[in-house]
Amino acid sequence: MPVLNRIADFAPEMTAWRRHLHQHPELALDCPQTAAFVAERLREFGVDEIHEGLAQTGLVAIINGQGPGPTIGLRADMDALPLQEITGADHASTIPGRMHACGHDGHTTMLLGAARYLAETRNFRGRVALIFQPGEEHGGGAEVMVREGVMERFDIGQVYALHNVPGVPVGQFHTCPGPIMAAADTFSVQITGRGGHGAYPHETRDPVMAACGIVQALQTIVSRSHNPIDDLVLSVTQIHTGSADNIIPNTAWINGTVRTFDKAVQSMVRTRMAEIVAGQATSYGVAAELDYELGYPPTINDPGKTEFAVGVASEIAGEAGVRADAGVEMGAEDFAYMLEQRPGSYLFVGNGDTAGLHHPAYDFCDETAPYGASFFARLVERAQPL
């Protein structure tokens, strides 16, 4: 069975919602218009409860099934990116410098589609909690909601989310059990030397040399301190220093990102990084201060819930349309915080042959939405059958 017939009926309306959201992108935790639009649709569908103001502008809607039972959580993100759109589409962003370049307009639409179907049909027991969160790209909206107690407040037993993925055919699903998205940490190193004339280096403590030494040495964490079978990325992405060709500067600044899937690896990287920065600073005769900031944790899929979700996805996409061993991605996802609290699964749904995520020519594929909505709807019906 592909897309549910009833969802196919209102697919043109889903396209209209998606394009409206695309035209009015909002950033981080500040998504009031998006939330108002979502709440308005949910009221039209006749959901039973709408709780607003979670994580500033997030909301949770409850739909009661028939008879008592547990509560299943479905989550969509709502925020856009600070990026100038170049699609030239009729429904392009109306706000300069902002666009839905990660398809969260589509994710919100898919969950709205499922909400409409579930509110109409109610072929399930217990309850479904529809979680619309702001601040996935910036602000950690999922973490804020978790800290506010969203899981306990709505008695959510398991959670699921979808993300679109360019380069995979529309309507196909990819996922894997265990780690699926990385932990994303950031670091910076402030180096303080002693500046001076470029022609008299012996009178200085050159922070440029120290910066180069630190950048090179940090790579040995990946190549020499870490098991090559496991996944780890350490990228230095910025070096800032200097002002002229004949001045050795006083200071230099380095920053970058670390991606891991395992707390032990993450902690090893932090320790080795501190040792290397301190050792290099001594050898170059400069002072260096490391600032390591923990970001989103790794996104870990529960194996049992993932197997269940793969079964549901196969119902929508056919067995050939689902990859259950898609492997890990080095990107990060704040749904990780919800999966730390409750078992569940995170899946990718194909967006077809479009520009990549976070690219200014990217656009969510409207044909994907009915597949995602059907997946969410059937997930609820099969997890909590009558």
* Binding-site ranges for Zn ion (CB under 5 A): 102
Closer CB to Zn ion, 102 or 277, in the complex: 102
Helices 11-23, 369-383: crossing angle, 10 deg rounding: 110
Closer CB to Zn ion, 102 or 276, in the complex: 102
- φ/ψ (deg, to 5) at 238: -145, 140
Closer CB to Zn ion, 27 or 102, in the complex: 102
Gap between the Cα atoms of 126 and 151, Å rounded: 15
What is the nearest approach in angstroms of Zn ion to the Cβ of residue 247?
40
Closer CB to Zn ion, 185 or 333, in the complex: 333
Closer CB to Zn ion, 102 or 129, in the complex: 102
What is the nearest approach in angstroms of Zn ion to the Cβ of residue 333?
7
* Burial (0-12, 13-18, 19+ Cβ within 10 Å), 250: middle
Give residue number: closest CB to Zn ion: 102
What string of DSSP letters covers 137-198?
SSS-HHHHHHHTTHHHHTTEEEEEEEEEETTS-TT-EE--SEEEE-EEEEEEEEEE-B-EET
What is the nearest approach in angstroms of Zn ion to the Cβ of residue 77?
6
Cβ contact 332:295 at 8 Å: yes
* Residue 58, C-beta contacts closer than 8 angstroms, at least 6 positions apart: 29, 31, 35, 78, 131, 132, 133, 134, 135, 141, 144, 145
* β-bridge partners, 194: 205
Query: Reduced to 3 states, what is the DSSP secondary structure of residue 271?
Result: helix
Closer CB to Zn ion, 102 or 322, in the complex: 102
Closer CB to Zn ion, 108 or 251, in the complex: 108
Gap between the Cα atoms of 147 and 229, Å rounded: 35
Residue 22: other Cβ atoms inside 10 A: 26
What is the nearest approach in angstroms of Zn ion to the Cβ of residue 137?
5
Closer CB to Zn ion, 102 or 131, in the complex: 102
What is the nearest approach in angstroms of Zn ion to the Cβ of residue 147?
21
What is the nearest approach in angstroms of Zn ion to the Cβ of residue 213?
34
What is the nearest approach in angstroms of Zn ion to the Cβ of residue 61?
21
What is the nearest approach in angstroms of Zn ion to the Cβ of residue 265?
23
Closer CB to Zn ion, 78 or 221, in the complex: 78
Pairing type for strands 156-165 and 344-350 reads: parallel
Closer CB to Zn ion, 37 or 362, in the complex: 362
* CA-atom Rg of the chain in angstroms: 24
Gap between the Cα atoms of 357 and 28, Å rounded: 17
What is the nearest approach in angstroms of Zn ion to the Cβ of residue 260?
19
* Residue 215, C-beta contacts closer than 8 angstroms, at least 6 positions apart: 236, 239, 254
Structure tokens at 139: 């602000």
Cβ contact 242:249 at 8 Å: yes
- φ/ψ (deg, to 5) at 202: -65, -15
What is the nearest approach in angstroms of Zn ion to the Cβ of residue 74?
16
